């Protein structure tokens, strides 16, 4: 009877609202609020042109006008579905990626084709399925991985050659990465062509001693489940042993790089310098608080440490992507938080500091371009200089002079700049406007054309009465100011008391409170709840990013303590407002946010009535790189791992708790949900749980079911 009653409630709510141009649950996933963008952009050699993928066609555009010139490849005519593509350096060939099939979050296999521009046909790159296929700098060869080995094809002779032959699943990986590198270092393609195409530097992983995780696949309809066993190093356990090798195409010799005697390390990135005989290797110790840049002689494998960055807590590995070698062959740019904020620094090739390029109490968040055609090169970067809730595009020369802001208006920008820095595309969004993509000429910062304005989406925002963020801030007991925002109904009445559902992620370095807009299913669910009489509140606590190193890293070694305290404090602040119902405050989150919502209901039962946790994790059951980055080794810091675990605090549950997980989650294992449930059961606590068979961390393909289920739970329990 209870299930029937909930169904009637949902139907009663949905039907009349839909007829009044208000949201229904179907709108969360039916494409009504799809945000269009400009994707797979390739800036071309002639500064007048770029190409982009649109409607299964690779189209060439004139930058000066933004107008379409010609279709380079028509996927429909070739009877293939193009996922993405790469142009050869001479722009005579295009490498087409089709039939992409995900392995984990970022890894995949695919079928590749080579297309000669101007021809009418395509040639299959190789047999079977490949991954990470990449042109050599001269466009005559393509390197790729298959079945844990590295290969290349000579396109002129159509001869394929194996660079390695010892690759084996769960043992040896060549040219691509193991699970933990993919997930936590964002690295899947683990090889790089030398600038002259004479060599390929590549990773070799020996994961023989890494412990295995057994994940059952239920394979809908199968008589017996299938065991899927893969290598997953949990905190404190053995990692893969990593090598870097350089393959010389001329004689087939493989040279092993000297990366030091300590094998318990990470190599987050490798790059070739402008010298085809000099490889750059970044080496991170296991505790991730010391980063070395090594310069390697590609002929002998010998290496020298030319720069070391240290931290009392941890090095943010994402800074590794900022390493940029100048065309002069004598200098490079790197970023560091050593001033307390992320900034860019210019070094000579021997590692000596030339100058600090950017400075101030703000974050220089991303290096997006470099103009080296002028006497003093100019750096283009994004920054939070105006507000940690916003990002804008700036420029400054490499002497740290002549800084100016280029983008206008409020919001958050993402920049795609041409290699010669003459043009850029500005992907900009704000709390009151969806994504707009604009094409600019850099020199005069002159807009050439709007490439995407999302007019249909803008119309639907107005049609369905979506609300915008109302930003606020408040101070916790120690005086720290936290930023947040509300979503309130259009007919908001301060004389009423509303139930509140808080959402947060809270993970280290993250940002949920920003002057930006989102139309993903989660965000649209929030809009749906607002139209049904709820307030949505989001607060970024201590440990989140974009406010400097001290704010972000003060949680180090004690992860989950201050973050939970801040969400509980936010709940108390929100419940004190005259227009909220203090007896109806809820919280939910996903992944780190699910961990947080679990901890908040367990430790803050006097504040929170209800919590939903989707795919929550715990530190001891999670992987080496992520857990140890923020807590050190569990052998050295057991209290850090256990004192702030949902498993430890499950017996404190007093409110309504809903635990949701996918059994096929290769990232945050279903084992964690089982561990939490076991402790709840031992303590005699009543709760609700639900699992999605074979679904991974993102529960892709089940969001319609998920949000309908969570809606019913919120209507019943908040």
Read off the pLDDT of residues 427-455 as tens digits, 9 standing for 90 and up.
999 999 999 999 999 999 999 999 999 99
* Predicted pLDDT at 47: 81
Query: In whole angstroms, how far apart are CA 415 and each of 9, 412, 425?
Result: 46, 10, 6
Tokens linked to 586: 């809820």
pLDDT of residue 5: 37
Report CA Rg, the chain. 26
Tokens standing for 305?
């440490």
Check residue 130 and report its DSSP letter: B
**Do residues 564 and 587 touch, judged by C-beta distance below 8 A?**
no
Please name the helix (run of DSSP H) or strand (run of DSSP E) that holds residue 660, with its range, or none: strand 656-662
- The encoded tokens of residue 126 equal 């190789």
Residues facing 141 on adjacent strands: 154
Bridge-based pairing of strands 535-540 and 498-503 is parallel
Is 628 strand, coil or helix? helix
**Distance between CA atoms of residues 606 and 572, nearest Å:** 9
β-partners of residue 414 are 427
Number of alpha carbons in the 13 Å side-chain half-sphere of residue 210: 27
Task: Note whether 134 and 193 are within 8 A (CB).
Answer: yes
**Average pLDDT per 10 consecutive residues for the chain, totaling 718 residues:** 36 41 93 94 90 95 91 95 96 97 97 94 96 97 98 96 98 98 98 98 98 94 93 98 98 98 97 98 98 98 98 94 96 97 98 98 97 96 98 98 97 96 97 96 94 96 97 97 98 97 98 97 97 98 98 98 98 98 98 98 98 97 98 98 98 98 98 98 98 96 97 98
Residue written as tokens 């092993």?
A: 256
695 in helix, strand or coil?
coil
Q: How much of the chain is in helix, strand and coil states, percent to nearest 5?
A: 20, 40, 45
Q: What is the pLDDT of residues 564-580, one digit of tens each?
A: 999 999 999 999 999 99
Token pair for residue 589? Answer: 């989150």
pLDDT of residue 533: 97
Residues 382/365, Cβ–Cβ less than 8 Å: yes
**How far, in whole angstroms, is CA 608 from its chain's centroid?**
30
Least Cα distance to 696 among 714, 658, 669 occurs for: 669
pTM (2 decimals)? 0.94
Cα dihedral 559, 338, 387, 384, rounded to 10, equals: -110
At 16 the pLDDT is 40
User: What are the structure tokens assigned to 40, written together?
Assistant: 């797979």
User: How many other β-carbons are positioned within 10 Å of the β-carbon of residue 548?
Assistant: 18
Q: Determine how many CB atoms are found less than 10 A away from the CB of residue 187.
A: 22
Confidence at residue 221, expressed as pLDDT on a 0 to 100 scale: 81
Q: What is the DSSP letter of 238?
A: P
* 3-state SS assignment for residue 10: helix
| Distance (Å, whole) CA 524 – CA 543 | 26
> Token match 């992860």: residue?
559
One-character DSSP codes across 450-487:
EEE--HHHHHHHHHTT----EEEEEE-TTS-EEEEEEE
- Hey, what long-range contacts does 4-10 have (CB within 8 A, 24 or more apart)? 6/712, 6/715, 6/716, 9/712, 9/715, 10/708, 10/711, 10/712, 10/715
What is the CATH class of 2-30+465-717?
alpha beta
d(CA 434, CA 112): 34
């Amino acid at each position: 009877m209870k299930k029937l009653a909930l169904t009637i409630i949902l139907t009663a709510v949905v039907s009349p609202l839909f007829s009044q141009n208000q949201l229904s649950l179907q709108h969360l996933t039916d494409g009504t609020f799809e945000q269009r963008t400009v994707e797979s952009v390739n800036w071309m050699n002639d500064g007048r042109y770029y190409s982009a993928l649109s409607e299964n066609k690779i189209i060439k555009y004139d930058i000066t006008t933004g107008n379409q010139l010609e279709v380079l490849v028509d996927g429909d005519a070739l009877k293939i579905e193009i996922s993405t593509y790469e142009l050869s350096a001479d722009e005579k060939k295009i490498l087409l990626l089709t039939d992409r099939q995900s392995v984990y979050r970022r890894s995949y296999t695919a079928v590749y084709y080579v297309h000669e521009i101007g021809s009418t046909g395509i040639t299959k790159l190789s047999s079977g399925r490949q991954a990470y296929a990449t042109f050599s700098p001269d466009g005559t060869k393509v390197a790729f991985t298959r079945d844990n080995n590295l290969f290349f094809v000579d396109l002129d002779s159509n001869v394929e050659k194996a660079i390695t032959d010892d690759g084996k699943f769960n043992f040896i990986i060549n040219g691509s990465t193991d699970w933990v590198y993919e997930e936590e270092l964002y690295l899947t393609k683990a090889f790089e062509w030398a600038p002259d195409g004479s060599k390929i530097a590549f990773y070799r992983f020996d994961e023989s001693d890494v412990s295995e995780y057994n994940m059952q696949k239920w394979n809908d309809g199968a008589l017996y489940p299938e065991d899927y066993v893969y290598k997953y190093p949990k905190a404190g356990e053995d990692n893969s042993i990593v090598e870097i090798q350089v393959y010389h195409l001329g004689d087939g010799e493989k040279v092993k790089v000297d990366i030091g005697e300590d094998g318990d390390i990470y190599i987050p990135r490798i790059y070739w310098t402008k010298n085809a005989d000099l490889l750059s290797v970044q080496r991170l110790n296991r505790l991730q608080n010391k980063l070395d840049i090594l310069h390697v002689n590609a002929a002998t494998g010998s290496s020298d440490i030319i720069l070391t960055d240290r931290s009392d807590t941890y090095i943010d590995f994402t800074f590794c992507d900022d390493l940029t070698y100048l065309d002069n062959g004598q200098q490079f740019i790197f970023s560091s938080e050593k001033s307390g904020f992320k900034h860019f620094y210019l070094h000579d090739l021997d590692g000596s500091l030339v100058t600090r390029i950017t400075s101030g109490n703000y974050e220089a968040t991303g290096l997006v371009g470099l103009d080296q055609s002028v006497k003093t090169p100019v750096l283009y970067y994004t920054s939070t200089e105006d507000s940690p809730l916003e990002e804008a595009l700036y420029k400054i020369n490499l002497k740290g002079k002549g800084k100016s802001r280029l983008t206008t208006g409020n919001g958050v920008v993402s920049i795609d700049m041409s290699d010669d820095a003459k043009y850029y595309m500005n992907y900009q969004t704000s709390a009151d406007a969806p994504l707009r993509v604009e094409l600019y000429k850099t020199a005069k910062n002159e807009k050439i054309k709007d490439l995407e304005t999302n007019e249909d989406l803008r119309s639907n925002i107005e049609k369905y009465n979506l609300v915008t963020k109302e930003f606020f801030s408040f101070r916790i007991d120690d005086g720290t100011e936290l930023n947040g925002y509300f979503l309130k109904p259009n007919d908001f009445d301060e004389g009423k008391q509303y139930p509140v559902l808080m959402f947060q992620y809270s993970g280290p370095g993250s940002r949920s409170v920003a002057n930006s807009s989102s139309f993903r299913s989660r965000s649209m669910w929030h809009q749906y709840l607002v139209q049904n009489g709820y307030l949505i509140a989001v607060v970024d606590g201590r440990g989140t990013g974009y406010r400097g190193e001290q704010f972000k890293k003060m949680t180090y070694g004690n992860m989950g303590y201050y973050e939970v305290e801040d969400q509980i404090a936010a709940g108390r602040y929100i419940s004190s407002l005259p227009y909220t119902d203090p007896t109806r405050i809820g919280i939910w989150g996903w992944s780190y946010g699910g961990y947080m919502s679990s901890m908040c209901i367990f430790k803050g039962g006097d504040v929170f009535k209800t919590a939903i946790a989707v795919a929550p994790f715990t530190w001891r059951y999670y992987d080496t790189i992520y857990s140890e980055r923020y807590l050190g080794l569990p052998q050295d810091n057991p209290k850090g791992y256990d004192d702030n675990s949902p498993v430890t605090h499950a017996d404190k549950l007093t409110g309504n708790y809903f635990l949701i997980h996918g059994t096929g989650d290769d990232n945050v294992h279903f084992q964690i949900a089982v561990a939490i449930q076991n402790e709840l059961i031992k303590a005699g606590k009543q709760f609700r749980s639900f699992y999605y068979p074979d679904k991974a961390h993102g529960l892709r393909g089940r969001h319609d079911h998920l949000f309908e289920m969570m809606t019913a739970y919120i209507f019943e329990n908040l």
